[in-house]
DNA sequence: TAATTATTAGATTGACTACTCTAACAAATA
DNA sequence: TATTTGTTAGAGTAGTCAATCTAATAATTA
């Protein structure tokens, strides 16, 4: 008998995923036919459906791939001496990804699909929760080292940092004048003012008073 | 002969638009068939296509409707005595809209469609440019009154405020724990620290130094 | 009232959809 | 070598899609 070669199998799956990513970024999930993915991947529908049972399974695999990549990125982040600087580095990396039109189109498409299809929604929500958990852990560690203002609640801070990342992708989608490589300075200023510990106790408490 | 009654005509169009909004929010633009819109609107396809030549024209009309509403909102904003407070009010209103699942689904769907269809993309970009122009004008006026830090460039500031709004909708899409009515305080803190004039000149310049 | 035209219904069309089926081919084991 | 089984192709299926067409009806004006 013959056994399945896991490496070859995975490589073949990846060919399909890469083709699907290109198509979904170009025309969206529902705007792409399985025939188009077949053409991009250079294979027959019989072959494609040998590796994925449904079109839905393809986008689910893409979301899972995404999760892996984000998790890998965070694994290295905690070793940095200055955690606030590490956070800025993470945000710069997010800007770099957003600058890639394929990546940003895909991210937006997945977010939209998450609202329509609750199976995708659950996967995306899990990814997001994982990222926010890493971010709030980073904030907590930075609190201990005095690198981020303890007035910032770790969970709330993580949420708004995540919102800012979502916002970057939103800008790419609707604002052709938003150039990631020129917007880094303002983003750093925003994050610095939002998160950095105040120089003296008085100014921190007066900020808090203003938001009442 | 018989002339077209503009009021009746507009009302009938609105029935279709409202039905389409409900459908698009539920299942997305490409996930919704014209037959579904007909069912929701309670009319035949012949009738629907009497008022809109294509399905695309329907979503285009929805985007235009959106533009009107945003413009109306900004018209009143400039008369406020405290422009920073007015901005916070605007952001609170955005959070209120985002809390409506129909509105937020639709906004995300339109953003995703803007990346796929350049005709929609152009409409959405025009809306966004209009909103950012209003925001930067508000920042400039606030500069003159000392209500917003002059270290914030009006255009860059407007871009990142817009990014924050996009981010709110992103949170709604992927983070079920994001409750708009509980996140206002952190948002106000972020905006206050980002935009408010510093209490003394020294701290403003030291912020600037940190982002180098 | 007669003529005109806006409005509406609903069956229909041809293209397209995700996916299946059958069968051939290729590789690896016994 | 013989056999098993993973891999591939491509025609085919049942159904859906946006949009059209024909024709009937309702409202307005002359």
**Percentage of chain B lying above the pLDDT 70 cut:** 93
Angle at Cα A149 formed by Cα A76 and Cα A206, nearest 5°? 160
In this structure, is the CB of residue A34 within 7 Å of any atom belonging to strand C? yes
The CATH number of A1-52 is which of 1.10.10.60, 2.60.40.1180, 3.40.50.2000, 2.40.30.10?
Answer: 1.10.10.60
Q: How far is CA B118 from CA A173, B114, B115, B133, in A?
A: 11, 6, 7, 22
Alpha-carbon distance of B61 to B69, in angstroms, equals 13
Residuewise pLDDT in 10s, chain A (212 residues): 788 898 999 999 999 999 999 999 999 999 999 999 999 999 999 999 999 999 999 999 999 999 999 998 888 888 899 999 999 999 999 999 999 999 999 999 999 999 999 999 999 999 999 999 999 999 999 999 999 999 999 999 999 999 999 999 999 999 999 999 999 999 999 999 999 999 764 444 444 444 43
Using C1' positions and the CA of B55, the closest nucleotide is D18
Domain spanning B59-211, CATH architecture: Orthogonal Bundle (1.10)
Q: For residue range B18-57, list pLDDT tens digits in order.
A: 999 999 999 999 999 999 999 999 999 999 999 999 999 9
Token pair, residue B186, equals 């952190």
Determine the residue of chain A that is closest to B111 in CA distance.
A173
Q: Tokens 């007015």 label which residue?
A: B86
Query: Cα(A170)–Cα(A173) distance, rounded to whole angstroms?
Result: 5
Q: Is B163's CB within 8 Å of A168's CB? A: yes
pLDDT in tens, B134-188: 999 999 999 999 999 999 999 999 999 999 999 999 999 999 999 999 999 999 9
The Cα A79–Cα B140 span in angstroms is: 42
Closest CA to B164 of A171, A35, A194: A171
Task: Give CATH for domain A55-198.
Answer: 1.10.357.10
pLDDT of residue A64: 97
Burial (CB < 10 A; 0-12, 13-18, 19+), residue B53, is exposed
Neighbours of A19 (CB within 10 A): 21
Determine what percent of chain B is predicted with pLDDT higher than 90.
85
- Angstrom distances, CA of residue B187 to CA of B63, B130, B145: 27, 23, 23
Q: Do A115 and B129 touch (CB under 8 A)?
A: no
Closest CA to A170 of A128, A114, A107, A119: A107
Q: What pLDDT sits at residue B81?
A: 95
Residue among B113, B174, B192 whose CB faces A211 most closely: B192
H-assigned helices in chain B = 6-27, 34-41, 45-51, 55-77, 83-99, 101-116, 118-144, 154-174, 180-195, 201-211
> Which residues of chain A lie closer than 8 angstroms to B157, CB-CB?
186
Among the listed residues A153, A152, A139, A210, the one whose alpha carbon sits nearest the alpha carbon of residue B198: A210
- C-alpha distance from B11 to closest chain A C-alpha (Å): 29
pLDDT of B6 reads 86
- By CB neighbour count within 10 A (0-12 exposed, 13-18 middle, 19+ buried), where does B25 fall? buried
* pLDDT above 70 for B205: no
A vs B, Cβ pairs < 8 A, gives 190
- Asked whether the beta carbons of residue B167 and residue A165 sit closer than 8 angstroms, the reply is yes
Residue spans per domain, chain B: 1-53, 59-211
CA-based nearest residue in chain A for residue B24: A116
* B46 CB and strand D closer than 7 A: yes
What was the pLDDT predicted at B76? 84
Q: How far is the CA of B42 from the C1' of C8 (A)?
A: 12
Distance from CA of B56 to the nearest CA of A (A): 13
> Which residue of chain B comes nearest to A176, CA vs CA?
B125
- Closest residue, CA to C1' of D4: A1
Of B30, B173, B207, the CB nearest to A30: B30
Q: Which of B114, B151, B167 is opposite residue A167, by nearest beta carbon? A: B167
**Residue A92 to residue A115: CA distance in whole angstroms:** 27
Q: Name the nt closest to A49 by C-alpha to C1'.
A: C19
Tell me: pLDDT of B101 over 80: yes
Q: Is the distance between the Cβ of B1 and the closest atom of strand D smaller than 7 Å?
A: yes
Judge whether residue B50 contacts strand C, using its CB and a 7 Å cut-off: yes
In terms of CATH, what superfamily is B1-53?
A: Homeodomain-like (1.10.10.60)
Name the residue among B45, B46, B51 with its Cα closest to residue B15: B51
Residues of A in contact with B186 (CB under 8 A): 153, 156-157, 159-160
Check if the beta carbon of residue B98 is closer than 8 Å to that of residue B168. yes
Contact B84/B142 with Cβ under 8 angstroms? Answer: yes
| A178 in contact with nucleic chain C (CB within 7 A) | no
In the prediction, which pLDDT does A208 show?
A: 44
Determine, for residues B165 and A167 on separate chains, whether the beta-carbon distance falls below 8 Å.
yes
């Amino acid at each position: 008998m013959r056994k399945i070669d896991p490496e070859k199998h995975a490589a073949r799956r990846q060919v399909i995923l890469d083709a699907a990513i290109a198509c979904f970024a170009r025309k969206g999930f529902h705007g792409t036919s399985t025939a188009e993915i077949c053409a991009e991947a250079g294979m027959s529908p019989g072959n494609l459906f040998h590796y994925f049972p449904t079109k839905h399974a393809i986008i689910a695999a893409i979301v899972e791939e995404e999760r892996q990549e984000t998790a890998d990125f965070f694994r290295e982040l905690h070793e940095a001496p200055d955690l606030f600087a590490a956070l800025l580095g993470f945000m710069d990396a997010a800007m770099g990804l957003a600058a890639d039109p394929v990546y940003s189109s895909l991210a937006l498409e997945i977010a939209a699909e998450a609202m329509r299809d609750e199976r995708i929604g659950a996967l995306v929500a899990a990814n997001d929760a994982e990222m926010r958990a890493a971010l709030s852990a980073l904030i907590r560690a930075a609190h201990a080292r005095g690198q981020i203002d303890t007035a910032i609640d770790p969970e709330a801070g993580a949420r708004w940092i995540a919102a800012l990342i979502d916002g970057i992708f939103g800008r790419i989608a609707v604002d052709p004048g938003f150039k990631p490589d020129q917007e880094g300075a303002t983003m750093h200023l925003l994050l610095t003012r939002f998160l950095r510990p105040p120089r003296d106790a008085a100014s921190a408490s007066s900020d808090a008073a203003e938001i009442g």
